[in-house]
Amino acid sequence: MYVVIMGCGRVGSSLATSLVRIGHEVAIIDRDQSAFLRLGPDFPGTTVVGMGFDRDVLVKAGIESADAFAAVSSGDNSNIISARVAREVFGVERVVARIYDAKRAAVYERLGIPTVPTVPWTTDRFLQQLISDGGTTKWRDPTGAVAVAQLTLHEDWIGHTVTDLERATNSRVAFMIRFGDGLLPDRKTVIQAEDTVYIAAVSGTVGEAVALAGNPPPAED
């Protein structure tokens, strides 16, 4: 999937690097060239300097072939304008905007533009909105620091151990449901067909972990 992101602050850079790690192509826009330093020297995506609601800038970022667009700058107005341009002018189907003003967010939700508030698990929420990873967060601690989510595993995980899955997703397998019964796995537990797996992970990494679990296991060295 090709995703265009407007805003390379803390959330935008985290979202961009997470999407790249799970195999998506990314272009990110920011008016400040130095903002791209957050991405690191090995970032393989496209960086574009400019205003994210400028049509020429969006075209340069590849909006015409984008599958999804995320507006995550620090300004509500910029995010909404760019989100509407992406949706209404360029026809991008999956568009989501970060909104600080709760009342304004409700208005745009009614217009069909999903919004994400400024909460600790913002990156997870954006990943879920953009890539529809199928994961469902079942529980989150009161501070928002840790979450438990259900995985939809790629079929190739069958026969691999829980340890393999934890290493690939950077999470902990909290428990499993096997043949209708709960199971607390250990490091040697082997994943079987029809297992339902729940992970515990730090907020901000849950969406990425869920997406990685939906991919085949990484090749062994």
CATH of domain 2-131: 3.40.50.720
Domains of the chain, by residue range, sit at 2-131, 136-213
Residue 6 banded pLDDT, cuts 50, 70, 90? very high
The pLDDT assigned to 149 comes to 87
Q: Alpha helices of the chain — where are they, by DSSP H?
A: 10-21, 55-60, 76-84, 102-110, 122-131, 162-169, 206-213
Both structure tokens of 204: 């901000």
The rounded distance, in Å, linking the Cα atoms of 58 and 83 is 11
Span 77-95, average pLDDT: 90
- Dump pLDDT digits (tens) for 197-215: 999 988 778 888 888 898 8
Number of Cβ within a 10 Å radius of residue 81: 18
User: What is the DSSP code (8-state) at residue 161?
Assistant: B
**In the predicted structure, residue 134 carries a pLDDT above the cut 50:** no
Span 145-150, average pLDDT: 84
CATH class name, domain 136-213? alpha beta
Both structure tokens of 120: 């600790």
The rounded distance, in Å, linking the Cα atoms of 123 and 121 is 6
The answer to whether the 2-131 and 136-213 domains have the same CATH topology is: no
Widest CA span in the chain? 56
Predicted model pTM: 0.63
